[in-house]
Structure 1
Amino acid sequence: MKLGLYLLSLLLFTACAVERPAAMRHDISQVLATQTAAWNRGDAAGFMQGYWNSDSLVFIGKRGLTYGWQPTLDNYRRSYPNAAAMGKLTFSNLHITPLGARAAHVAGRWHLARPAAGDLDGHFLLVFRRIDGRWVIVADHSS
């Protein structure tokens, strides 16, 4: 009897602790939507709220590796110094793949519409982790 109660308790605890894939995909999609809105109003710091605020954040782009939240923000500000340079961001072809209860990766395409400076686009692979109750990007490989 005690073993059965223990197993039932363990099963219930596990079920509550693991986020369902649909909920995970929704939550991660919301992070990306919030980032898009921040970018499109010219708010690079707001865009960065979707990233892990840690020196262990890694960003891989055409200029190589960048480690840390602040250096990544500094690179964005250097590359996109104002709202016109930032343009309007869209993400498409999103494929959100759970890697467990607390991790996922997202592959997709990004596009910046910039009438004055010329459009930019490419692909990305993001690694998300659930840290302190929030889904955040811990690694970004954009090209």
Structure 2
Amino acid sequence: MNIKAILLFITIVIISSCSSKNTIEQDQIEIMTILNQQEIDWNNHDLKGFMSGYWKSDSLYFYSGKKLKSGWESTLNSYLKNYPDKSYSGTLKFTIEKISAITTDSYFVMGEYNLTREVGNATGTFMIIFKRINGEWKIIADSSC
């Protein structure tokens, strides 16, 4: 009987381990899907569409240019001001370096952005935090430089 209990325990541990790995991989795929859609929206100069990846809340934080902004509306307005037309927004390409779980419902993403545009190219790095809110992944914090 002890051998059966041990085998059952080992089986449960293996299944749980595989299930956890599948969940992490699925989460990463869902996060990459959002980032890919953000590239598409940005490249169509659809800044509001781009912002759909962000948490629509006053508790969203965006840190860039030595300034900390809070709120979805404030972040959108900043994008609209700084990228008024396609010549400024150009073509965005993300290079994702790392996606890692913080908790079961939050991840950090580190990477680079590259803007090819008429008014001059721009590149930089970012770290964003995704959190699962009401079953959907949303960016709750973004630090870009």
Q: Tell me which interval the TM-score lies in, with the shorter structure as reference length.
A: 0.7 to 0.9
Residue aligning to 2:28: 25
Q: 1:46 aligns with which of 44, 49, 65?
A: 49
* 1:101 corresponds to 2:100: no
* Alignment RMSD: 1.9
Q: Which runs of 5+ in 2 are unaligned?
A: 1-11
TM-score by length of 2: 0.84
Residue aligning to 2:141: 139
* 1:66 corresponds to 2:69: yes
Residue aligning to 2:40: 37
Q: Which runs of 5+ in 1 are unaligned?
A: 1-10
TM-score by length of 1: 0.85
Runs of 4+ more than 2 Å apart: none
* 1:55 corresponds to 2:58: yes
Aligned equivalents of 2:109, 2:130: Cα separation in 1: 8
Whether contact under 8 Å (1:24, 1:98) holds in the other structure is no
Superposed displacement of residue 94, structure 1: 2.8
SS in 2 for 1:25: helix
Aligned equivalents of 1:93, 1:56: Cα separation in 2: 25
Whether contact under 8 Å (2:96, 2:109) holds in the other structure is no
Residues 43-69 of structure 1 show CA distances to partners (whole Å, capped at 9, x for unaligned) of 000000000000000000014000000
Superposed displacement of residue 93, structure 1: 3.6
